[in-house]
């Protein structure tokens, strides 16, 4: 199969473009001003000294997610529905780049990796049946709701209104996850091994093994990497630069490498990437204060790593990461004319809510989402990241195979 690219249309410049650009500049100014305030106050009472940095890292992710279409829903839909694997290379590259960076950081902190000194600040979670169930639920919820949690966060500013009930469903799903946690923890997670590939093997062997798997997957996916025709000759002028920056999808390899670099920086300075800790922590705090659950949760408050929910009374650095994603994705979507209000109905809003519940429950039981467990976990050489990712791929593949996304939102996809 060959992908035919339509000839570029003349962009021109309209009054609407002026309005969109002014709003985008204003949003960017607010984001930078907020970062400046957090830096000047050292984040006192607002997440601490790393708040400004995580806000800017979130902004970088928002730009990359939006412009590179670094969206697990979009990538898996292209793979399973269109037999187009190009987006998958962004994910593989980000894992590869992050793997090398994490290994360097680990080597400075834990010179000799063993099963007894697994880094507790990395997303290295227990591998159990609960993780598989969580991944299957998350993958199915992603297909039904139209995006993963990170995808909903960056697509909402584009006018993707189904993200509102989907994110509401995520909160409900977290609540259900907290209520079912004791049974899942005692039945499956307690005593399960948190397998770290570097333990006993050393960093070099573990990195080479993981990079070899990534290369193998990349070679396998070449069969679904169709050639592109129809681009034609291009003249690099102001219009073309504008087109490449704001209209054309950014290259997968560049996007993936940049996401990997931001992941390394986030872990080095603060914590692994993830977009669920603030949401789940606020849900847990509200449920605890309402008396719907105990203040102590076994495993979560003792030893488990990941996007673990805590009882909080303020925004955390993870919260600022989310704010950065939302604001920056809006700022770059506006000049590219991609802010369009999506058609919603009672039915597709209800399905988005239901899909969101699966996303939230899966993220709570799995201790994170596609960013926190799959991406940050694999980068940390955790087997849990691969297991969670495999479960998501299976669920997403079946979901797209049976067209659940189209049945959940007819006329949208």
User: Which residues make beta-bridge pairs with 4?
Assistant: 229
1 occurs within a structural domain: no
- H helices, E strands: number in the chain: 16, 2
pLDDT tens by residue, 357-376: 999 999 999 999 999 999 99
pLDDT of residue 314: 81
**The whole model's pTM is what?**
0.95
pLDDT tens by residue, 20-59: 999 999 999 999 999 999 999 998 888 899 999 999 999 9
List b or e across 359-390, with b for residues whose CB sees 16 or more CB atoms inside 10 angstroms. Answer: bbbbbbbbbbbbbbbbbbbbbbbbbbbbbbbe
**Overall average pLDDT of the 274-292 stretch:** 92
Contact 354, 134 (CB under 8 A): no
Overall number of domains in the chain: 1
Q: What is the Cα–Cα distance from 177 to 150, expressed in whole angstroms?
A: 19
2 occurs within a structural domain: no
Contact 346, 137 (CB under 8 A): no
Mean pLDDT of the chain: 93
> Which residue range forms the structural domain that includes residue 98?
8-408
Q: What is the Cα–Cα distance from 130 to 364, expressed in whole angstroms?
A: 11
- If pLDDT is split at 50, 70 and 90, which confidence band does 73 have? very high
Taking residue 341's Cβ as centre, other Cβ atoms within 10 Å add up to: 9
Residue 371 in tokens? 């960013």
**Overall average pLDDT of the 250-262 stretch:** 97
pLDDT of residue 305: 65
The radius of gyration computed from the CA coordinates of the chain, to the nearest angstrom, equals 21
123 occurs within a structural domain: yes
Dihedral pair phi/psi, residue 196, rounded to 5°: -115, 120
Contact 112, 178 (CB under 8 A): no
**Overall average pLDDT of the 168-173 stretch:** 98
400 occurs within a structural domain: yes
380 occurs within a structural domain: yes
pLDDT of residue 275: 95
Q: What is the Cα–Cα distance from 376 to 367, expressed in whole angstroms?
A: 12
125 occurs within a structural domain: yes
The answer on pLDDT for 139 being more than 90 is yes
Dihedral pair phi/psi, residue 344, rounded to 5°: -125, 150
- Tell me how many degrees the CA angle 291-292-296 measures, rounded to the nearest 5: 80
pLDDT of residue 301: 79
Contact 66, 232 (CB under 8 A): no
370 occurs within a structural domain: yes
The answer on pLDDT for 400 being more than 90 is yes
pLDDT, greater one: 300 or 262:
262
413 occurs within a structural domain: no
Token match 């002026």: residue?
18
- Tell me how many degrees the CA angle 257-80-393 measures, rounded to the nearest 5: 65
DSSP 375: I
Residue 389 in tokens? 């990712």
Contact 275, 149 (CB under 8 A): yes
């Amino acid at each position: 199969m060959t992908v035919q690219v339509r000839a570029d249309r003349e962009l021109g410049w309209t009054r609407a473009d002026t309005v969109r650009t002014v709003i985008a500049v204003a949003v960017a100014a607010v984001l930078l001003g907020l970062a400046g305030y957090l830096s000047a106050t050292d984040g006192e009472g607002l997440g601490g000294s790393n708040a400004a940095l995580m806000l800017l890292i979130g902004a970088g992710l928002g730009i990359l997610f939006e412009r590179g279409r670094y969206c697990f829903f979009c990538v898996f839909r292209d793979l399973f529905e269109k037999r187009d694997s190009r987006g998958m290379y962004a994910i593989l590259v980000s894992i590869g780049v992050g793997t090398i960076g994490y290994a360097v950081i680990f080597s400075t902190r834990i010179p000799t990796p063993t099963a007894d000194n697994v880094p507790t600040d990395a997303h290295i979670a227990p591998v159990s049946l609960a993780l598989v169930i969580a991944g299957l639920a998350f993958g199915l919820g992603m297909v039904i709701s139209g995006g993963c949690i990170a995808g909903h966060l960056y697509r909402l500013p584009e006018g993707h209104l189904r993200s509102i009930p989907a994110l509401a469903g995520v909160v409900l799903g977290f609540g259900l996850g907290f209520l079912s946690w004791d049974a899942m923890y005692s039945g499956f997670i307690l005593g399960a091994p948190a397998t770290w590939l570097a333990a006993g093997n050393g960093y070099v062997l573990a990195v080479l093994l993981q990079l070899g798997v990534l290369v193998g997957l990349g070679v396998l996916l070449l069969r679904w990497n169709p050639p592109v025709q129809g681009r034609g000759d291009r003249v690099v002028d102001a219009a073309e630069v504008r087109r490449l920056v704001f209209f054309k999808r950014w290259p997968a390899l560049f996007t993936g490498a940049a996401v990997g670099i931001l992941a390394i920086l986030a872990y080095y300075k603060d914590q692994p990437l993830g977009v669920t800790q603030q949401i789940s922590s606020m849900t847990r705090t509200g449920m605890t204060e309402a008396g719907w659950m105990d203040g102590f949760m076994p495993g979560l408050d003792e030893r488990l790593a990941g996007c673990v929910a805590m009882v909080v009374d303020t925004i955390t650095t993870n919260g600022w990461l989310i704010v950065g994603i939302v604001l920056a994705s809006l700022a770059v979507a506006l000049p590219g004319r991609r802010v369009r209000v999506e058609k919603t109905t009672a039915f597709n809003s209800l399905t988005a809510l239901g899909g969101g519940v699966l996303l939230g429950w899966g993220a709570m039981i799995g201790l994170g989402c596609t960013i926190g467990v799959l991406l940050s976990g694999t980068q940390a050489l955790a087997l849990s990241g691969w297991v969670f990712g495999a479960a998501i791929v299976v669920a997403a593949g079946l979901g797209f195979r049976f067209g659940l996304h189209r049945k959940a939102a007819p006329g949208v996809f």
